[in-house]
Amino acid sequence: MKKVNLGRAFIAVAATGLLAAGMALPSCKKSSSSSPAMTLYDSLGGTTMVADPAAPGTMIEKGRLGLRSVVDSTIFVIAADTAINEYFTVLLAEVTSGNTTGFNALSKNLTDFFCVATGAKNFTYGGKSMTAAHDPAQNSRMNGKANAADFDAFVADLVKGAQKNGLSTQLIGQVGALVGTLKTQVVQR
Ligand code: HEM
C-alpha cells in the first residue's frame, strides 16, 4: 500500500483565540508566536480523551470521535445519494448482505485520513493514495472514474454528514477547503 502525502492537505488554523489572549496580556513573556499553531483537529476537540460510544469502556480522542462520526454519517448519506452511490456498488452490496467488513475498513481509513489531514499526531493513514483509491484500475472497489460533478456531490454529502453531527459552519468551511485541495487527485475524467 502506498503512503499518501498529506503535506498539502494539512490545514493549520490560526490560533486567533491565543492571539487575542496574548494581546490582552502584553506582559506575558510567552508570546503566541512560540505556541504551535492550532490545527483543525484541535478545533474539533483534539487529543482530549472522551468515552467512545461505539466501544463501551474505552476512550477515544475527541477530535477523532468527531471525524469518525462525520465519516460514518457521510457514508450513509452517500449510500442514499443516487447521484454518486453507483461508485460504491461493492460496498453497498456487502452491507446489504450483512457484511460490514468493507464498511469498517472504509470508516477506519477515511477517519485516519481525515485525522492526519486535519493535523492529528497520534494516527497514521495506511490506505491507498488519493489517486490510486479513485482509479478503478488500482482499486476494484471504485466503480468507475469520478468527474467534477461527482466530486461536488461528494463534498455536498460530506457537508450533510458534518451538519448531522453539529459541526459549525466555520469548521465545515475548513473541512471543505481541505477536501478541495484533493480534487485533482480524485477527479480522473
Ligand atoms: C476529497 C474527496 C475524497 C476523499 C478525501 C476521499 C477519500 C477516500 C479514502 C481515504 C478512501 C479509502 C481508500 C483505501 O481504503 O485505501 C476512499 C475510497 C473510495 N472513494 Fe473516496 N474520497 C473522496 C472523494 C470521492 C468521490 C468524489 C468518489 C466518487 C464519487 C469517491 C469514491 C470512493 C470509492 C468508491 C471508494 C472505495 C470505497 C470502498 O472501500 O468500498 N471518493 N476515498
C-alpha triplet 58, 60, 65: angle, nearest 5°: 125
181 closest CA partner among 50, 17, 5? 5
Report the mean per-residue pLDDT for the chain. 87
Atom nearest to 128 CA in ligand 1:
16
81: region left, alpha or beta (phi > 0 left; psi from -120 to 50 alpha):
beta
Q: Once rounded to an integer, what is the mean pLDDT over residues 47-59?
A: 98
Mutation pick for ligand 1 pocket among 106, 112, 125 (CB with most ligand atoms within 8 Å)? 106
Residue 122 has pLDDT above 60, yes or no: yes
Of 15-24, 45-54, 93-102, minimum mean pLDDT range: 15-24
Contacts with 40 (C-beta within 8 Å, 6 or more apart), sequence order: 11, 13, 118, 119, 171, 174, 175, 178
Q: What is the pLDDT of residue 159?
A: 98
Query: What global pTM score does this model have?
Result: 0.86
Q: How many whole angstroms from 84 Cα to the centroid of ligand 1?
A: 11
Q: Once rounded to an integer, what is the mean pLDDT over residues 45-69?
A: 98
Residue 124 has pLDDT above 70, yes or no: yes
Instruction: Give the three-class secondary structure for 12.
Output: strand
Ligand 1 pocket, Cβ-based, cut-off 6 angstroms: 84, 87-88, 90-91, 102, 106, 109-110, 113, 127-128, 133-134, 141-142, 146, 150-151, 154, 179, 182, 186
Q: How many whole angstroms from 106 Cα to the centroid of ligand 1?
A: 8
**Domains assigned to the chain:** 7-186 (1.10.490.10)
Q: How many whole angstroms from 128 Cα to the centroid of ligand 1?
A: 10
* pLDDT, tens digit (0-9, with 9 covering 90-100), for 3-14: 333 333 333 333
- Give me 60's grid cell: 477515544
Of 7-11, 118-122, 146-150, minimum mean pLDDT range: 7-11
C-alpha triplet 19, 25, 30: angle, nearest 5°: 70
Measured CA to CA, the distance from residue 14 to residue 2 in angstroms comes to: 31
Q: How far is CA 46 from CA 51, 97, 98, 121, 138, in A?
A: 14, 36, 33, 10, 33
